[in-house]
Amino acid sequence: MGFVLSAFADEIDADLTVQLAQLKEQGIGLIDLRTAFGKNVMLLSDTEVLEAKSQVEAAGLGFNCVASPINKVTVAEGSAQDELAKLMRASQIASLVGIDRIRIFTPEGDDWAEIEAWMAPQVALAEELGVVLLHENDGRYYGSIPANAQRLFERFHSEHFRAAFDFANSVQHGYFAMKDWFPWLLPYLETIHIKDAREDGKVVPAGEGVGQVRETLTWLVSEGWEGVLSIEPHLQFAGDRGGFSGTESFGIASTAIKGILEEL
C-alpha cells in the first residue's frame, strides 16, 4: 500500500516539542501545519515558521501541507481579494518549509457563478506560484456538498487543484463516502483526513463511526490509489479553525487507523 501517515500535530499538545515526541513514538513522519507557538499558521512570522521547520527537521520529520483556513468566510461578508492575499502568504510559508501543498476550502454560499468567480483567481495564482491547493469538504462551505464539490473539480481540476477528503465532515452533513463521493472523486483525490463520526455527528476514532473509513480505504487499495492519510481526530474539541484531542486521545486515534491499515 502506498499510504503515508501525517497528522495535525497541534491536536496533541500546544507544545511543538511534545507533538514531535509523540509523532516519532508512533512512527508518523509528516505534519499538517495548522498552528504553532499558539498561533494559526497564517499569523506566524517568517522567523517562527523557520523555527518550526528547524524543530521538525531536527526530529527527523517533515511537512505535508500548510493547513490554512483560506476561504472559511461567506461570499456575502468575506472578500475574495483578502483570501487571495492569504493564499499568497500561505505559499510563502509553504516555500519556507520546503513544500508546495496548501489546504483550502470554498466560501459559504449557494450561487455557483459567485463561487466560480471567487475561486478562479486562486487557482490561477496557484498555477503561477507552482503550489497545489488541497480542497477540503468541510463544514457549511460550498464544497462540503458532493454535487457542489463535483462541479468544482470538473471546472478547476488540474495538478494545482486537488481534493482533501474528510470522512467525518461528510457524515455530519448526511453524506457517505462510498455512496456519495466515490468513485467520482477518485481522479481528483490527493489526500485523506482521518476522522470518523457517528450518525449523531459525534467525532470518533476511525472505524468506530459510520463514515465508511475501512470500506473506502479497502476500495482505494483495490484501485491502486496512493497518498497521504492525515490524522485529524477532533476527539475533545472541534471548532471552525481547528480541533484538539490531547496526547491520550490522539494515541487512540492513531492506533485506530493503524489497526485498519494492518487489516488491509
pLDDT tens digit sequence for 117-174 = 999 999 999 999 999 999 999 988 999 999 999 999 999 999 999 999 999 999 999 9
Give pTM, 2 decimals. Answer: 0.94
Report residue 180 CA to chain centroid gap: 19
Q: In the chain, what are the domains?
A: 3-263 (3.20.20.150)
φ/ψ (deg, to 5) at 127: -65, -40
Q: Is 32 within 8 Å of 230 (Cβ atoms)? A: yes
Helix/strand number for the chain, H first, E second: 8, 14
CA 207 – CA 213 distance, rounded (Å)? 6
**Residue indicated by cell numbers 456575502:** 76
pLDDT band with cut points at 50, 70 and 90 for residue 248: confident
Q: Which residues contact 253 (CB under 8 A, 6 or more apart)?
A: 194, 195, 205, 206, 231, 233, 235, 245
**What pLDDT was estimated at residue 242?**
54
Amino acid code (one letter) for 28 = I
Report which DSSP code applies to 35.
E
**What pLDDT was estimated at residue 243?**
53
**What pLDDT was estimated at residue 128?**
97
CA 160 – CA 83 distance, rounded (Å)? 17
φ/ψ (deg, to 5) at 89: -65, -40
Residues 177-215: tens digit of each pLDDT? 999 999 999 999 999 999 999 999 999 999 999 999 999
Residues 97-113: tens digit of each pLDDT? 999 999 999 999 999 99
CB neighbourhood size of 77 (10 A): 8
